[in-house]
Amino acid sequence: MKEKKYGLFTAITMIVGIVIGSGIFFKSDNILIFTGGNVFLGVVVFCFAATAIVFGSLTISELASRTDKAGGLIAYADEFCSPRVACAFGWFQALATFPTLAAVVAWVGGFYTFTLFGIESTLLQQVLLGGGYIIFFYLLNLLSAKLGGYFQNASTIIKMIPLILFAVVGLIYGDPQVFTSSVSLEAMQTASWTAAIGPVAFAFDGWVVSTSISHEIKDAKRNLPVALVFAPICILAAYVLYFVGLSNLLGPDQIMAMGDSHVDYAANMLFGAAGAKIVLVFIIISVLGTVNGLALGSIRLPYSLALRDMFPGKAFASKMNEKLSVPVNSGIISLGITLIWMFIHYITQEYSLLYNTDVSEITIVVSYLSYVVLYYQVFRLARAGKVEGVFRGYVFPALATLGSAFILMGGMQNPQFPIYLVICALFIVASQIYFTQTQRKK
């Protein structure tokens, strides 16, 4: 019997550690740009997005409590929908969602590392260092799953320090009128502000990654649902307090003008040059904790698909390294995919192909739409009398679906949304073509 490597605390820190990573630190300016500097609307978007993740987690936990098969969402789709749907979920996650997130977050880690040492860096240098971080954390989790879990636990605790510092100082010493003066119902009458859902959704994204190691969590049927419910609530509280605190401290105009450099500026203003370095170290550890968590989850995706004959090179990808108890070949495949996306990220940023965004936002809207398929399965289980309670079986799936609908509405405000939709559709269509071909050979 395979050893269960991860406990409840690791499951919680994996969700918190992946979600609270780089997004909140370098997307605040993007959020304010889309809301026209309106802090109140930014908080509204955070709360709406939280509806998708909190109630999405509550709903997905109903499926998680009923199976501990390998694959997370792939396993849920396979067991409660169909193998064809599972193949679509798996390809989309393994080839697009997880690797784009990992690539962008690792790049941010490179950016902040150069900032820490006061080195003027080019985009290419940041990307190369980010690529080095990706390779390191993939190797860490391939060679020692437990060590990767320990780093995840430690980095999650450390990453809360700068969030709490900026939140507390900003709320106490900042200008509260920055928030209260922006409370306006008139500003909500146009839909343009909902485009902020893109960067907010990125800041919340990654919560489902923990499901990919569900079969390696101790007492997964109990611990994973608990983690899926507890972690998102903590994340929402941390995000809102940080966003409001930093906006009160610096002011929306300065944050928008400075872009990603506003965090370093705020740290210098509050703690001086030496203190700012320490804060920046915490932020880098926070970012790298996200890279580690994404690597921890991603290395198992090709393996999970190959076990179901849903991935090319089944014999290679489904091989488990008995000595390490990790699917090393699957990890190598995932690493290669992530590095390819890092190259694509470099091209899109170097030639300004994506306005006020990056490749990580390509898959976000479609990801949340795909979760609706699983939410519906909980509704079906409730109708069959297999989920107890009106809230668990009906209200939670309905609210999770509304959250996904809001993310769709916000995503459609982005002029690049049609392009994103086409890219996502290509991955899904490719998965269905492959699935059909494999079925014909059987």
Residue bearing tokens 């790298």: 288
Establish if 282 belongs to a structural domain: yes
Q: What pLDDT band is residue 390 in, cutting at 50, 70 and 90?
A: very high
Minimal CA–CA distance to 170: which of 262, 290, 288, 284? 262
Here the CATH number for the domain that contains residue 268 is: 1.20.1740.10
- The predicted model gives 367-375 an average pLDDT of 93
Q: In the numeric block, which tokens belong to residue 407?
A: 């993310």
Strand partners, 326: 321
Over the stretch 395-412, which tens digit does the pLDDT of each residue have? 999 999 988 887 787 778
Establish if 164 belongs to a structural domain: yes
CB 228 within 8 A of CB 73: no
Number of structural domains the chain divides into: 1
CB 133 within 8 A of CB 291: yes
Establish if 286 belongs to a structural domain: yes
Lowest-pLDDT choice from 126-135, 154-163, 217-226: 217-226
Q: At what angle do helices 39-64 and 220-250 cross, to 10 degrees?
A: 170
Q: How far apart are the first and last CA of the chain?
A: 29
Establish if 426 belongs to a structural domain: yes
- The predicted model gives 31-50 an average pLDDT of 82
What single string gives the DSSP state of each residue in 176-240?
THHHHTT--SGGGGSSGGGGGHHHHHHHHTTGGGGGGGGGGBTTHHHHHHHHHHHHHHHHHHHHH
Q: What pLDDT band is residue 1 in, cutting at 50, 70 and 90?
A: very low
CB 343 within 8 A of CB 104: no
The CA-atom distances, in angstroms, between 415 and each of 36, 192, 357 are: 17, 11, 11
Host domain of residue 52 = 8-435
Over the stretch 265-278, which tens digit does the pLDDT of each residue have? 888 888 888 888 88
CA separation for the pair 281, 259 (Å, rounded): 19
pLDDT at 265: 86
Does the pLDDT of residue 416 top 70, yes or no?
yes
- The predicted model gives 162-183 an average pLDDT of 78
Helix, strand, or coil here: 247? helix
Establish if 161 belongs to a structural domain: yes
Q: In the numeric block, which tokens belong to residue 293?
A: 């968590």
Q: What pLDDT band is residue 129 in, cutting at 50, 70 and 90?
A: very high
Helix, strand, or coil here: 276? helix
pTM to 2 decimal places? 0.81
Establish if 269 belongs to a structural domain: yes
pLDDT at 191: 55
Residue bearing tokens 């699935």: 435
CA separation for the pair 1, 207 (Å, rounded): 28
pLDDT at 89: 95
Question: Which region holds residue 41: left if phi is over 0, alpha if psi is between -120 and 50, else beta?
Answer: alpha
CA separation for the pair 263, 281 (Å, rounded): 12
Establish if 440 belongs to a structural domain: no
pLDDT at 404: 86
Q: In the numeric block, which tokens belong to residue 104?
A: 């962008």
pLDDT at 190: 57
Over the stretch 196-231, which tens digit does the pLDDT of each residue have? 776 676 667 666 765 656 666 777 667 777 777 777
Over the stretch 316-362, which tens digit does the pLDDT of each residue have? 999 999 888 889 999 999 999 999 999 999 999 999 998 767 898 89
Q: In the numeric block, which tokens belong to residue 246?
A: 């930093």
CB 76 within 8 A of CB 214: no
Establish if 2 belongs to a structural domain: no
